[in-house]
Amino acid sequence: MKKIAFLFLALLLTALSACKGKPAADEGGVSSGEGEKHLIIAANPDYESFDPGITYEPYGSTVIHACYDNLFEFQGSLDNLVPAAAESYEISSDGLTYTFKLRPNIRFVSGNPLTSADVKWSFERAINLKGNAAFMAEGITGIEAPDNSTVIIRLKETNPSFPIELAFVFFSILDSKAAAEQGATNAPDADITDTARTWLDTHSVGSGPYQIETYTPKVEVVLARNPNYWGPAPYYDRITISTVMDANTQLMMLRAGDADIAFNLSAEQVKGIVGVPGITILNAQSLTTSFLLMNRDPAVGGPVADPRVQLAIRLALDYEGIQAIAGPGMNTPMAPFPLGLLGSLPPGEVTGYPKTAEAKALMAEAGYANGFSTKLYVPTSTVVGVELVTLAQKLQNDLAAIGITAELVPENVTISLETYRTGQQSLGLWYWSPDYPDNNSQIAFLPGNSVGLRANWKADQNPALAALGKQAATEIDNAKRVELFTQIQQAMIEDTPFAMLLQHTSQYAVKTGLTGADYLELYQLDLKRIAE
Residues 359 and 429 placed together within one structural domain of the fold = yes
At 462, the pLDDT band (50, 70, 90 cuts) reads very high
Query: How buried is 182 (Cβ within 10 angstroms: 0-12 exposed, 13-18 middle, 19+ buried)?
Result: middle
Judge whether residue 15 has pLDDT over 50: no
User: In whole numbers, what is the pLDDT of the chain averaged over residues?
Assistant: 91
* Cβ–Cβ under 8 Å, residues 390 and 380: no
pLDDT at 29: 47
pLDDT at 5: 37
Report if residue 430 sits inside a domain. Answer: yes
Distances (CA, A) of 211 to 14, 69, 173, 207, 219: 35, 12, 13, 8, 18
Among 238, 257, 272, which residue terminates a domain? 238
What is the domain count for the chain? 2
Which of helix, strand or coil describes residue 76?
coil
Residues 153 and 300 placed together within one structural domain of the fold = no
pLDDT at 348: 86
pLDDT at 14: 34
Q: What is the CATH number of the domain that holds 99?
A: 3.90.76.10
Q: What percent of the chain has pLDDT over 90?
A: 80
Mean pLDDT of 464-473: 96
At 237, the pLDDT band (50, 70, 90 cuts) reads very high
Report if residue 271 sits inside a domain. Answer: no
pLDDT at 106: 98
Judge whether residue 13 has pLDDT over 80: no
Tell me the per-residue pLDDT of 137-187, one tens digit each, with 9 for 90 and over.
999 999 999 999 999 999 999 999 999 999 999 999 999 999 999 999 999
What backbone torsions phi and psi does residue 190 show, to the nearest 5 degrees? -60, -30
* Cβ–Cβ under 8 Å, residues 287 and 434: yes
Residues 344 and 490 placed together within one structural domain of the fold = yes
Report if residue 310 sits inside a domain. Answer: yes
Q: What percent of the chain has pLDDT over 70?
A: 94
294-309: string of b/e by CB count within 10 Å (b at 16+)? Answer: bbbbeebbbbbbbbbb
pLDDT at 34: 59
pLDDT at 265: 86
Segments forming the whole domain that contains residue 84: 42-238
Mean pLDDT of 269-281: 92
d(CA 419, CA 432): 16
Residues 231 and 292 placed together within one structural domain of the fold = no
Among 499, 450, 449, 496, which Cα is nearest to 469's? 449
- 8-12, 160-164, 244-248, 366-370: which has the highest mean pLDDT? 366-370
Tell me the per-residue pLDDT of 31-61, one tens digit each, with 9 for 90 and over.
445 589 999 999 999 888 999 999 988 899 9
Report if residue 10 sits inside a domain. Answer: no
Judge whether residue 25 has pLDDT over 50: no
Q: What is the CATH number of the domain that holds 346?
A: 3.10.105.10
Which residues, including other chains, have CB under 8 Å from residue 286's CB and lie 6 or more apart?
384, 433, 503, 504, 505, 506, 519, 521
pLDDT at 452: 98
Residues 194 and 314 placed together within one structural domain of the fold = no
Judge whether residue 110 has pLDDT over 80: yes
pLDDT at 505: 86
Residues 190 and 64 placed together within one structural domain of the fold = yes
Among 52, 212, 209, 198, which Cα is nearest to 122's? 52
d(CA 522, CA 65): 9
Residues 303 and 447 placed together within one structural domain of the fold = yes
Judge whether residue 3 has pLDDT over 60: no
What backbone torsions phi and psi does residue 159 show, to the nearest 5 degrees? -145, 100
Residues 303 and 226 placed together within one structural domain of the fold = no
Residues 215 and 101 placed together within one structural domain of the fold = yes
Residues 165 and 92 placed together within one structural domain of the fold = yes
Residues 61 and 171 placed together within one structural domain of the fold = yes
Residues 205 and 343 placed together within one structural domain of the fold = no
Tell me the per-residue pLDDT of 201-219, one tens digit each, with 9 for 90 and over.
999 999 999 999 999 999 9
Higher pLDDT, 273 or 327: 273
Report if residue 418 sits inside a domain. Answer: yes
